Amino acid sequence: MISPLVAVTGASGEVGGRVARRLARTGVPVRLLGRDPSRLPAIPGSSAAPPAAYGDGEAMRRALDGAHTLFLVSAHESPERTQEHIVAVDAALAAGVERVVYVSFLGAAPDATFTFARDHWHTEAHIRMTGVRHTFLRDSWYLAGIPAMTGADGILRGPGGDGRVSAVSHEDIADCASAVLLDEGTGHDGVVHDLTGPEAFTLAEAAAELSRRTGREIRYVPETREEAYASRAPYGAEAWEVDGWVTSYEAIAAGELATVSDAVRTLTGRPAQNLAGYLEENPDSYRHLLPEA
C-alpha cells in the first residue's frame, strides 16, 4: 500500500528539515515546499515543489496539488503572518489536502501576552473553521534559544521576572510531529499537543546551568519593560518585532509558559530532553560564551 503524500513547509529550517528527513526514512513520500527551491535540502525520497510563498495562493495550490497532508510550519514573523497562513490553508484545501498538522505555540490565545502567540491562535481558529482534519502542535520556547539569547558578555536579560519556561528541543518537536504525521488514523484529529521539556525552569536557573557548562559566570538580569525596550533599541528592528521579543519574556513572567506536558513521552515513548541534556549534546550552542583560551 502506498502511503499518502505529505507536503512539508519550512524544510530548510530547524523543524521542517528534521521532520522531512524522518518521514523520508520511513518511506513516506515527501514533498518539500519553499519560496526558493535552491535552499531546500537534498533528502533522498523527497521531491521539491515549485516555488511557493505562503501568501501566494495560486503558487501554494500548485505546490500542494496531490498532497494528502500538509505539515505547516509557521511563516517568519511579520505583521502579515496570520493572513499568509490563511492563504496557505485555503490553497491547501483548494488543492485537495485532507489533513493539516500545524506548528503553533504554547498558550496560543487571542489575548496571549506574547504577541506572536496571538497570530498562532488566529491561524488555529481559521483551520478549525474550515472543517479540515487537523492537529495543533503547540511548542514552548526552544531550548536552543536559551544560549542563543545570552550575550557574549555572559548576560541573559529580559523582563521574565521569576517566571518559569518549559523549553523544548527541536529534536523532540520533530519526533513528535513525525509520530503524528505517520499515524494515519484519526486519533490526533482535533487534538492540541503541548510540546514541552520535562521541567519548567527560571531564567536564573538557566543562567546557572550555563555557568556550570561554560566554567564562567553567566547571569540573568531581569529587566523592566522600559529597560527591555531600551536595551533592544540598538538593533533597529521594527516596533512589531521588538514587541514580540519583549513580550516573549513577559509571557514567562506571567506564568503562561510554565506548562509541563507529557506529550513528548506519550508520542515518542521516551522522555523529553532537559536543558542540561541539550547543552551536553550541543556544545556549539554556547561556544560564544566560553572563556577565551
Give pLDDT tens digits for 50-95. 999 999 999 999 999 999 999 999 999 999 999 999 999 999 999 9
Query: Which pairs with CB-CB distance under 8 Å and at least 24 residues apart come from 92-95?
Result: 92/7, 92/60, 92/61, 92/64, 92/67, 92/132, 93/130, 93/132, 94/57, 94/61, 95/60, 95/61, 95/62, 95/64, 95/65, 95/66, 95/67
φ, ψ for residue 144 (rounded to 5)?
-60, -25
User: Residue ranges per domain, the chain?
Assistant: 6-140+170-195
pLDDT digits (tens, 9 = 90+) for 123-162: 999 999 999 999 999 999 999 999 999 999 999 999 999 9
Q: For domain 6-140+170-195, give its CATH number from 3.10.129.10, 3.40.50.720, 3.30.590.10, 1.20.140.10.
A: 3.40.50.720
Whole-number Å distance between alpha carbons of 2 and 90: 26
49 has a pLDDT exceeding 70: yes
Whole-number Å distance between alpha carbons of 99 and 278: 32
Residue type, 3: S
SS3 per residue for the chain? CCCCCEEECCCCCHHHHHHHHHHHHCCCCEEECCCCHHHCCCCCCEEECCCCCCCCHHHHHHHHCCCCEEEEECCCCCCCHHHHHHHHHHHHHHCCCCEEEEEEECCCCCCCCCHHHHHHHHHHHHHHHHCCEEEEEEECCECCHHHHCCCCCCEEEECCCCCEECCECHHHHHHHHHHHHHCCCCCCCCEEEEECCCCCEEHHHHHHHHHHHHCCCCEEEECCHHHHHHHHHHHCCCHHHHHHHHHHHHHHHCCCCCCCCCHHHHHHCCCCCCHHHHHHHCHHHHHHHCCCC
201 beta partners: 165
Residue-level pLDDT at 138? 98
Do residues 114 and 83 make contact, with C-beta atoms less than 8 angstroms apart?
Answer: no
Residues 6+ apart with CB under 8 A from 144: 14, 169, 170, 278, 282, 285
Query: Which pLDDT band holds residue 37 (cuts at 50, 70, 90)?
Result: confident
Residue type, 234: P
Q: Count CB neighbours of 99 within 10 A.
A: 22
pLDDT digits (tens, 9 = 90+) for 158-215: 999 999 999 999 999 999 999 999 998 999 999 999 999 999 999 999 999 999 999 9
Residue-level pLDDT at 2? 58
Do residues 258 and 165 make contact, with C-beta atoms less than 8 angstroms apart?
Answer: yes
293 has a pLDDT exceeding 70: no
pLDDT digits (tens, 9 = 90+) for 209-252: 999 999 999 999 999 999 999 999 999 999 999 999 999 999 99
117 has a pLDDT exceeding 50: yes
Count of positions (residues) in the chain: 293
